[in-house]
Amino acid sequence: MSHGLRAILLLGLISMFGDFVYEGGRAIAPDLLRQMGLTAAGVGLVTGVAELAGWISRPIGGAIADRMGRYDVMVRVGYGSLFVIPIMAIAPNWAALAAIVFVERVARGLRVPARDAMLASVRGKVGLGSAFGLHEFLDQFGATAGPLMIAGAAAIHGDLRAAVVYTVLPYAALFVLISRLPTVTVNKGPDPRSPASGGGVLTYTLAATLNVAGLLPLSIVLYKVSGLAEGDEWLVPLTYSIAMITDALAAIPLGRALDRFGVRVLGLTMLLSVVPAALLVNDVYTLILCAGLIGVVIGAHESIFRAVVAQIAQSGPLGSAYGLFGLGVGMGYSVSGLVFGLMVDLSYGQGAMLGYALIMQLLSLYFLRSATSPKSVTG
């Protein structure tokens, strides 16, 4: 096994066990907040502010990693901070639990740009697409298994606080793994404001932002399924699981396709992003198919879209590039949720949703072409 592949697997396992921990905690945090007396609006405010803080902290984390000259330090600190999740078991009130939720999101935002920059730096001769595809597959495995572990523990003990204690086990494995991270120093490249790095990254980030802004949110699909599944509530988590499974399964082949065919694969993903808006109908099985397609696009964003950031940034500051990219995508998801949510509430027809999605994806394609001109980015 090559040094690069070993490094990719190490980072993938770190992300996997990290997801075991924090996705397990996130799965029950809203319910715990409710049990502590917080209203639905209060839960929404706590989680919403935490998510926003997490996105805002990404460019900050990337800039800090570039300034420090070390990617691995930010990765260690960010994942090490997940010790707050088992502490949820002894949180005395909703304010303490809200603080834990906030810290977890900010820590994630700070570490992700450095982690992605590190992945791009240590991959050796492995293609960028394949590296990020394999990483996303392992990451998504943890994201699926973590909530399942908590669900099983809660079923055994009948208590959510007891269930969250189980996150100590994957955290122990995570702690061992982050202690094995190699030292990765930042390659001091061109000024991030130069056209070769920052300008291209900014344009590319705009393309990715428009792509997710025009993608039907999975939450809207789940909302529609819940309204149609009276008496069959299990269909809602099944629909979510289908999206997570297609996310994981799509990551590796998409990564290989990027390494072979270049950024044209991103263009096809943008066109695919139009389709879910046409499938938001009053039929559960069509909605499940819709969720699966959304999962493929999410998998593309978590694999090949991230990989291309490193290609476009060239030898510029990777941490800052990934921080900017993460903030942009987060803003895009927020716009998507707001626009499609309003369309559903105001009973807009499929034509309006499809038209909006198509316009966003055409704009996304335009900026993708601008970001990758005059020559295609092939890695």
Cα-Cα-Cα-Cα torsion 136, 138, 143, 144, nearest 10 degrees, comes to: 120
Handedness of CA 254, 260, 263, 265 (dihedral sign): negative
* 188-379: CATH superfamily: MFS general substrate transporter like domains (1.20.1250.20)
**Which residues, at least 6 apart from 41, have a Cβ–Cβ distance to it below 8 Å?**
none
pLDDT number for residue 372: 84
Using alpha carbons only, how large is the chain's radius of gyration in Å?
Answer: 20
- pLDDT tens for 236-257 read 878 888 998 999 999 999 999 9
Residues 30-63: tens digit of each pLDDT: 889 988 988 878 887 888 889 889 999 999 999 9
- Look at residue 379 in the predicted model and tell me its pLDDT: 44
Residues 6+ apart with CB under 8 A from 179: none
Q: Give Cβ neighbours of residue 199 (< 8 Å, ≥ 6 apart).
A: 193
* Residues 6 or more apart in contact with residue 150 via CB below 8 angstroms: 24, 25, 27, 28, 163, 164, 166, 167
Mean pLDDT of 84-104: 95
Q: State both tokens at 10.
A: 């190490």
Q: pLDDT at residue 131 above 90? A: yes
Checking if the pLDDT of 188 tops 70, the result is: no
- C-beta separation of 123 from 142 below 8 A: no
Superfamily of domain 1-186: MFS general substrate transporter like domains (1.20.1250.20)
Q: Whole-number mean pLDDT of the chain?
A: 89
Whether residue 107 contacts residue 78, with contact meaning beta carbons closer than 8 Å, is answered with yes
* Residue-level pLDDT at 187: 59
Structure tokens at 233: 């509530």
Could you tell me if 111 and 79 are in contact, meaning their C-beta atoms sit under 8 angstroms apart? yes
State the pLDDT confidence band at 222, using cuts at 50, 70 and 90: confident
Q: pLDDT digits over 288-310, tens only? A: 999 999 999 999 999 999 999 99
CATH fold match for the domains 1-186 and 188-379? yes
d(CA 315, CA 293) in angstroms, rounded, equals 34
Q: Which amino acid is at 70?
A: R
Confidence of residue 370 (pLDDT cuts 50, 70, 90): very high
Q: Is 345 exposed, middle or buried (0-12, 13-18, 19+ CB in 10 A)?
A: exposed
| Domain range list for the chain | 1-186, 188-379
d(Cα 32, Cα 163) in Å, to the nearest integer? Answer: 11
CA angle at residue 303 from 302 to 306, to 5 degrees? Answer: 80
Looking at the DSSP bridge assignments, the partners of residue 185 are 70
